[in-house]
Amino acid sequence: MKTLIIGLASIILVGLITGMFVYENRDEVKLPQYQIDTEEPENNPNATTQTEPQQEDLWPVDGEEISYSLQNEELHITYDKGKSWVTVPVEKDKLFAGEYNGNKQSLIDTSYILTEKRAAFLYAEGANWESQTVGIVYSEDQGKTWEETIVTDSFPALRYRKVDFLNDQFAYVILSGGRTMSQEGTQPYLSNDGGKTWTQTNTPETTRLVSDGAFINEKTGFLSYGTINPEQPDLYITEDAGESWEMASFQMPKKYEAVFVTAEMPVKEEDHLAVLVNQGPNGDYLGGKVKGKFISKDNGKTWEFSEEVQPSEEQ
């Protein structure tokens, strides 16, 4: 027993004294970035490999042939299901600038185009949150060359953002921002030269939050408002490329009043336009997923109810 206690005590004492030497002579713990700053690459050939974060293998975000990846804090695109990659010359954070609440694992749905013919990504930059530059970085040769174009050099914190090309020449961008609770500004921009230059259009007289917007041709465009407690569709239409806007009127059957409240984007069907009107964020009619389909024969100015659409029937 005595030996055990003395043995233990000796080990502890020796351990503590050694520990004291180690503790006194250890290097001071430094901030990670400080270590990088002070290392001279010339004197340390391994500096680059030591300080660079581990690069992980890229994989397409959705497993598609034409896809992208946001791994390693960069945007890469692939045209062959991830066998080869091209880095998009834009900082990842700029793709999510403004009022974004997501995990930055995938791009904001409507903020980019990635097709065989065209890759285009909306971004915003600038230190001043209330006045940022919004631009597009795009490539028409699958990422071999890239160009940048400014859509607007002053836009407040982006909330909604959408870019689309209808053909080689005509493209539109719809931005909203500067949200103060339930009010914000919404601004469409049009390009007739394949995205090289952009012109700001007029806007409807409303500061409600935009829910969607689109142009279906060079002249006709729509903006749908009402993401907060909407009570009826609030759809605006322009037939002169955004020069003037008027509110579309819906002939809403009494049964569906205050049920179908948020218009989605109209699409061309045979000789008329069709639009689905959903139930908004609080809808609970038949489970909340059923939408109302409306038809317009006057290019979107007036809409007549056509049928209820079950979620599975959506085109």
Q: Which residues bind another protein (CB under 8 A)?
A: 1-2, 5-6, 8-9, 12-13, 15-17, 19-20, 22-24, 26, 29-32, 34, 99-104, 128-130, 156-157, 178-182, 209, 227-229, 281-282
Ramachandran angles phi, psi of 114, nearest 5° = -140, 95
CB of 309 to another protein, least distance (A): 23
In 3D space, the residue among 108, 232, 122, 206 whose CA is nearest the CA of residue 171 turns out to be 122
Looking at the Cβ atoms of 83 and 181, the one nearer to another protein is: 181
CB of 103 to another protein, least distance (A): 4
The answer to whether the CB of 112 falls within 8 A of the CB of 120 is yes
Looking at the Cβ atoms of 33 and 46, the one nearer to another protein is: 33
State the Cα–Cα distance between residues 292 and 270, nearest whole angstrom: 19
Looking at the Cβ atoms of 130 and 307, the one nearer to another protein is: 130
CA 160 to mean position of chain CA atoms: 8
CB of 16 to another protein, least distance (A): 6
Looking at the Cβ atoms of 12 and 267, the one nearer to another protein is: 12
Looking at the Cβ atoms of 179 and 293, the one nearer to another protein is: 179
CB of 301 to another protein, least distance (A): 28
One DSSP character per residue, the chain reads: -HHHHHHHHHHHHHHHHHHHHHHHHSPPP--HHHHHHH--TTT-TTHHHHHSPPPPPP--SS--SSEEE-GGGEEEEESSTTSS-EEEEEEHHHHT-SS--S-SSS--GGGEEE-SS-EEEEEEE-S-TTSEEEEEEEESSTTSS-EEEEEEEEE-SEEEEEEEESSSS-EEEEEEEEEETTEEEEEEEEESSTTSS-EE----S--SPEEEEEESSSS-EEEEE--SS--S-EEEEESSTTS--EE-EEE--GGGTTTS-EE---EEETTEEEEEEE--TT--GGGTT-EEEEEESSTTSEEEEEEEE-GGG--
Looking at the Cβ atoms of 13 and 166, the one nearer to another protein is: 13
Looking at the Cβ atoms of 17 and 150, the one nearer to another protein is: 17
CB of 4 to another protein, least distance (A): 10
CB of 57 to another protein, least distance (A): 23
CB of 179 to another protein, least distance (A): 6
Looking at the Cβ atoms of 97 and 237, the one nearer to another protein is: 97
- Give the C-alpha distances (Å, rounded to integers) separating 234 from 189, 198, 214, 225, 301: 20, 26, 14, 5, 12
CB of 20 to another protein, least distance (A): 7
Looking at the Cβ atoms of 64 and 130, the one nearer to another protein is: 130
CB of 281 to another protein, least distance (A): 5
